[in-house]
Amino acid sequence: MKSISFFAWLLLLATGCSTSGVAIPLGAKTYPPTSADSVVILAEPPTRPFADVALVDGTAATDDYFTQERTQAAALKAMKEKAAQLGAHAIIITDKGSRPYGGPLWEKLQISGKAIRYTDDSE
């Protein structure tokens, strides 16, 4: 019986741990994809003119990455990948939070933002 409960715990651990990115496009205009590596993270809106592309969200759990820094990097990477698929140049962070997850030492980190695309010619 113990092996079944241990197996169930391992299955829950394997399926419960995830990193995800979500994007909700804003407006009907579409853009060619950009590189996720080129998407810049911003704390406030830029002075350059821009258009809103999407609302984006990245979630990662510390049980996958073990440290806050690595978990945050994973959540940001997931956001950047989704934003890049929609042609964004940058993400303006709008919210960041965490909640307990799966055990007393683990938490899920969630970062939200707005993906934008610069509208001037200098990229």
Structural domain boundaries in the chain: 17-118
Q: Is the pTM of this model over 0.85?
A: no
What pLDDT, in 10s, does the model give residues 43-84? 999 999 999 999 999 999 877 778 888 889 999 999 999 999
b/e map of 60-99 (b: 16 or more CB within 10 Å)?
Answer: bbbbebeeeeebbebbbbbbbbbbbbbbbbbbbbeeeebe
How far is 100 from 110, CA to CA, in rounded Å?
11
Cα 98 from Cα 118, distance rounded (Å):
30
Confidence of residue 5 (pLDDT cuts 50, 70, 90): very low
pLDDT in tens, 90-106: 999 999 998 887 777 78
CATH architecture of 17-118: 2-Layer Sandwich (3.30)
